[in-house]
Amino acid sequence: MVRGKPQSLLDGRCGRVKITFLVHSLYSLGGTIRTTLNTASALLDRGHDVEIVSVFRRRSKPLFPLDPRLTVRTLVDVRTDAEPEPLTVSEATLAQRPSKVFPPTEPRAAQYHRLADARVAVALRDCDADVIVGTRPGLNVYLAKFAPTSAVRVGQEHLSLDHHGRRLARRLYKTYKALDALVTVSAADAEQYRRGMPKVAAKVGHIPNSVPQTPLSPADGDTKLIIAAGRLEQVKRFDVLLRAFARIVGRHPDWRLRIYGHGKQSAELRELVAELGLNDSVMLMGARTPLDAELVKGSIAAVTSDFEAFGLTIVEAMSCGLPVVATDCPHGPAEIIGNGADGLLTPVGDDAAFAAAVTTLIEDPEARGAMAKAALDTAERYRPDSVAARYERLFTDLAKAKRRALSPTHEAGTRVSEQVAGSCRAESFERVALRLPEGAAKLMRRGNAVELPEAVDGEIIVDAAFLAGLSQGIWTVFVDDAKLAADRIDTRVLVDSRPSAAPAAVVVPFSRNGVLALRVWRSPVYPEVDAVSWHGSEVRATGELVGRPSGELTAEVVSRDAEAARYPASVSVDASTFTVRVDVTDLLTVSAEGTRLWDIRLLDGQRELPVGKVLDDVAQRKGPHRLPRWWSPKRRRVQPYFSVDNHLSLKIDDGLAVEE
C-alpha cells in the first residue's frame, strides 16, 4: 500500500486509519500497558497506523518490548534514571501546581499537575488521528475536554463502576456523555455502567483484553510449582494465597510457590512468609517480562484477588497451558474460567477453600492435565487479532454514526527503534541453545572475551566442551560488540531436575538487568541447600551433596573482611544428605558493632565447597529467596541469605541496615 493520503476505514471503506492511545506511562508495568501494546501490535498487523501518547516518561527504557512499527510520544519527562528534559521557569511553576482537569479523586491524581494539563491539551487538540482512545478514567476526562470532536473518541474502563467513589463516578458520568463510546473489559462491568449511567447506556460495550500466543511450548505440568503474578497490592490478596499455601505445604511439603510482581506490599508479604514458616518453599520473584517463560515452569496458576476487572494473568497462564485456580471475584474470573473445565473458582477471601481447590489439582494429575488442555483452548478467544477486529468494527460503526470524512494525511511520528534481542533455551545444566541476531557472537566477562561457536540451524550450542573454557562467574552475551536485550529465556528443564552426579560445570542463562547473560559455576561437589532453620542461637542448613567428596567433610564460616577470620562449624553427612550447624555465639562476639558478613563452607581436604543453591533455574536467588532471621539478646540481627553467587552467607548487624 502506498503511503500518503490514506483511505479511511472510518468512511465505511476498509483502509488504513490512524489510532492514538493515550496512556498514563508507557514506561511502567501493569495490565493496561500490556494489553494496550498487544492490541496496538494487532492493529498494526491489520494495516493501521498506531500511536501511543504517554503522559509521563518514568524511565529511559520501557519495561515491555515495543513493536518497532509503533509511533510513541511522551509529554512529561520525569525520569530518575537519567537527566529529564529541562523545564522553563514557567513550566516548572506549572509542574508544582495540581491539575485543574484531572479528577482529584482519581487514584493517579497526585501525579498530575498543570504542566500535564497543558501538554495533554496541546497533544490532543493537534492530534490528527481518526480514533483516539483513553485508557483510564482521568485520561478519559482529558479526552472529552481536549480531543477534537471530529475524531472518534473512545474511553476504556479497566475498573468496575463501584470501584470508583461517588464523586469520581459523578464526574465520569458527565465525561462519558461527551465520548462516542465507553468500552469495559468484561460484560458484567459493562452492565454495571449501563445501570449506573443510564444516559450513557447506549454507548457502553465490552471488549476483553488481549493476550498474544506464546512462542514457547506449553507447560508439561510435571513440576511441583504453583505460579502467581500481579501487583503486590492489597486488592490482589497475596496474603490469602500465602495462608492457603501454608495449608497446602503441610500436606504436600514438596510443592513450592513463586509470586511474580512488585508493589507496596512486598515487605509485608515477606514478613508473612517468615511468620508462616514458608521461607524454604515460597519466593517473591519480582517483576519479570516476558512472563510466559516463567509461567511455563509451573503446573498450576493461582489468583486470589478481591477484584479483577478482567484477569489478564488468568489468560496469560491459560495461554501457557496452566489450569487456573481463582477467587470468584467481580468480575473477570468467572467470565474467563469455566469452573471445573479449565480451572476452579473459590469464594473470595477464603484461604481454606482456595487451599482445598489447589490440593484437588495437586492430587489428581489427570484432571489437572485435562484442565490444562482446556485452558489452551480458552486462551484462543483472547488473541490480539480477534480483539483488534472487534475494535475495528466498533470504530467503523462509530465513524458511520459521525459521518466522518476521509482521513487527512497524517503527520509522521517518531518510530520506536527496534531493540536487538536474544533468546535461549536450557537443555540441561551443561547445555544451552542460544538464538541470536546475525553477527559476531561472543561472551564477555571482566574484559575477557570468548567467541561463541557458529550457529547450526539458527542455534548456537553452549555445551560441556565449550564450558570447559569458561571461568566461574557471569558472562554477558554480545553480538557485534553490543549487548543483547534478553527476550525469552526458557529454563523450565532446570526446575525439579537436580542431577545425581556433579556436572563439570553448571550454566544457567538469565536476564541481568534486561541483558542476556550466562551464569557459570564449577565445583567437584555441590552442597545444595534445601532448608534453613534456627534452633536457639544455632542456624542449620540441610540439603543434598551432589557429587562425591574425596574424604571426610568439615565445615567453617569465613569472614569477608580483610582479616578473613575463620570459625569452625559442624557438619554431619548421612548418605547424600548433609546438615551444617553454625552456633553464632562466637560470631556475635567478634561482630559486636557494625556489619559483618560470613560465608559458610564445607572443606573436602584442601578443597573449599561453598554451601549454596545453584542446581536449579534461579541464577540470582539473593532477592527472591529470603531466609529466616534470628535476633540475639542484645538485639543484633543474624540474617542468613544467599549471596550474589547463590552461596549461603550470614549477615550480622543491628537490623537497621539494608539487607544484602
pLDDT at 657: 45
Residue 346 and residue 144: Cα distance in Å, rounded? 40
Polymer length of the chain:
660
Task: With beta carbons less than 8 A apart as the criterion, state whether 259 and 223 touch.
Answer: no
Looking up residue 277, the CATH number of its domain turns out to be 3.40.50.2000
Task: With beta carbons less than 8 A apart as the criterion, state whether 316 and 310 touch.
Answer: no
Q: Within a domain: residue 5?
A: no
pLDDT at 441: 97
- Residue 36 clears pLDDT 80, i.e. is over it: yes
Task: For cell 497524517, name the residue.
Answer: 410
Comparing CA positions, the residue from 657, 660, 650, 653 lying closest to residue 634 is 653
pLDDT at 419: 64
Residue 125 and residue 135: Cα distance in Å, rounded? 18
Query: Per DSSP, what are the bridge partners of residue 581?
Result: 540, 570
Q: What's the rounded mean pLDDT across residues 278-290?
A: 95
Please indicate, yes or no, whether residues 329 and 235 belong to a single structural domain of this protein: yes
pLDDT confidence bin for 13, thresholds 50/70/90: very low
Q: State the burial class of residue 587 (Cβ atoms within 10 Å of its Cβ: 0-12, 13-18, 19+).
A: buried
Please indicate, yes or no, whether residues 68 and 199 belong to a single structural domain of this protein: yes
Q: At what angle do helices 187-196 and 166-178 cross, to 10 degrees?
A: 90
HSE value, Cβ hemisphere, 13 Å, CA-based, for 447: 0
DSSP 58: -
Contacts of 96 (CB under 8 A, 6+ apart): 113
Contacts of 307 (CB under 8 A, 6+ apart): 160, 163, 235, 329, 330
Residue 530 and residue 545: Cα distance in Å, rounded? 11
Instruction: Kindly provide the b/e burial profile for residues 465-479, where b requires at least 16 CB atoms within 10 angstroms of the residue's own CB.
Output: ebbeebeeebbebbb
Q: What is the dihedral of CA 211, 217, 222, 224, to 10 degrees?
A: -40
- Residue 242 clears pLDDT 90, i.e. is over it: yes
- Residue 658 clears pLDDT 60, i.e. is over it: no
Looking up residue 600, the CATH number of its domain turns out to be 2.60.40
- Cα distances from 305 to residues 240, 558, 650, in angstroms, run 9, 45, 36
Q: What's the rounded mean pLDDT across residues 194-210?
A: 97
pLDDT at 418: 59
pLDDT at 296: 99
Q: What's the rounded mean pLDDT across residues 447-471?
A: 96
Please indicate, yes or no, whether residues 145 and 44 belong to a single structural domain of this protein: yes
Among candidate residues 521, 552, 586, the one where a domain is terminated:
521
Task: With beta carbons less than 8 A apart as the criterion, state whether 228 and 259 touch.
Answer: yes
pLDDT confidence bin for 586, thresholds 50/70/90: confident
Q: Return the H-helix or E-strand segment holding 560.
A: none
Please indicate, yes or no, whether residues 233 and 153 belong to a single structural domain of this protein: no
pLDDT at 414: 60
Residue 500 and residue 521: Cα distance in Å, rounded? 17
Q: Within a domain: residue 1?
A: no
Q: Return the H-helix or E-strand segment holding 135.
A: none
Q: Within a domain: residue 7?
A: no
Task: With beta carbons less than 8 A apart as the criterion, state whether 613 and 646 touch.
Answer: yes
Residue 248 is which amino acid?
I
Please indicate, yes or no, whether residues 113 and 247 belong to a single structural domain of this protein: no
Among candidate residues 402, 433, 448, the one where a domain is terminated:
402
What is the pLDDT of the chain when averaged over all its residues? Answer: 93
Please indicate, yes or no, whether residues 552 and 485 belong to a single structural domain of this protein: no
pLDDT confidence bin for 39, thresholds 50/70/90: very high
Comparing CA positions, the residue from 493, 433, 422 lying closest to residue 463 is 433
Residue 283 and residue 258: Cα distance in Å, rounded? 5
Q: Within a domain: residue 332?
A: yes
Answer with the residue of higher pLDDT: 407 or 221: 221
Q: Within a domain: residue 647?
A: yes
DSSP string, 444-500: EETTEEEEPPPPBTTBEEE-HHHHTT--SEEEEEEETTEE-EEEEEE-GGGTT---S
pLDDT at 402: 78
- Residue 659 clears pLDDT 50, i.e. is over it: no
Q: Which three cell numbers stand for residue 412?
A: 509522521
Residue 613 is which amino acid?
K
Task: With beta carbons less than 8 A apart as the criterion, state whether 91 and 115 touch.
Answer: yes
pLDDT at 564: 80
Q: State the burial class of residue 539 (Cβ atoms within 10 Å of its Cβ: 0-12, 13-18, 19+).
A: buried
Residues of the chain above pLDDT 90, percent? 87
Residue 223 and residue 243: Cα distance in Å, rounded? 21
Residue 578 and residue 581: Cα distance in Å, rounded? 10
Task: With beta carbons less than 8 A apart as the criterion, state whether 415 and 69 touch.
Answer: yes
pLDDT confidence bin for 401, thresholds 50/70/90: confident
Q: Within a domain: residue 217?
A: no
pLDDT at 5: 36
Task: For cell 552467607, name the residue.
Answer: 649
Q: Within a domain: residue 4?
A: no
Among candidate residues 474, 490, 521, the one where a domain is terminated:
521
Residue 17 and residue 541: Cα distance in Å, rounded? 62
- Residue 406 clears pLDDT 90, i.e. is over it: no
Please indicate, yes or no, whether residues 371 and 510 belong to a single structural domain of this protein: no
Please indicate, yes or no, whether residues 322 and 452 belong to a single structural domain of this protein: no
Comparing CA positions, the residue from 236, 237, 225, 246 lying closest to residue 361 is 225
Residue 139 and residue 117: Cα distance in Å, rounded? 10
Q: What's the rounded mean pLDDT across residues 185-193?
A: 94
Residue 459 is which amino acid?
E
Q: Which of 57-71, 144-158, 296-310, 586-600 is predicted with the least confidence, judged by mean pLDDT? A: 586-600
Q: How many structural domains compose the chain?
A: 4
Q: At what angle do helices 114-125 and 137-146 cross, to 10 degrees?
A: 50
Q: Are strands 324-327 and 300-303 parallel, antiparallel or unpaired?
A: parallel
The domain containing residue 289 runs over which residues? 225-379
pLDDT at 1: 32
pLDDT at 475: 98
Instruction: Kindly report whether the global pTM for this prediction surpasses the value 0.95.
Output: no
Please indicate, yes or no, whether residues 514 and 531 belong to a single structural domain of this protein: no
Please indicate, yes or no, whether residues 469 and 578 belong to a single structural domain of this protein: no
- Residue 93 clears pLDDT 60, i.e. is over it: yes
Q: Which of 292-296, 468-472, 631-635 is predicted with the least confidence, judged by mean pLDDT? A: 631-635
Q: In what order do the strands lie in the sheet with 181-184?
A: 71-77, 49-57, 18-25, 131-134, 152-157, 181-184, 204-206
pLDDT at 415: 63
Please indicate, yes or no, whether residues 196 and 261 belong to a single structural domain of this protein: no
Q: Within a domain: residue 9?
A: no
Quick one: three-class SS letters along 588-644?
HHHCCCCCEEEEEEEEECCEEEECECCCCCCCCCCCCCECCCEECCCCCEEEEEECC
pLDDT at 515: 95
Please indicate, yes or no, whether residues 196 and 284 belong to a single structural domain of this protein: no
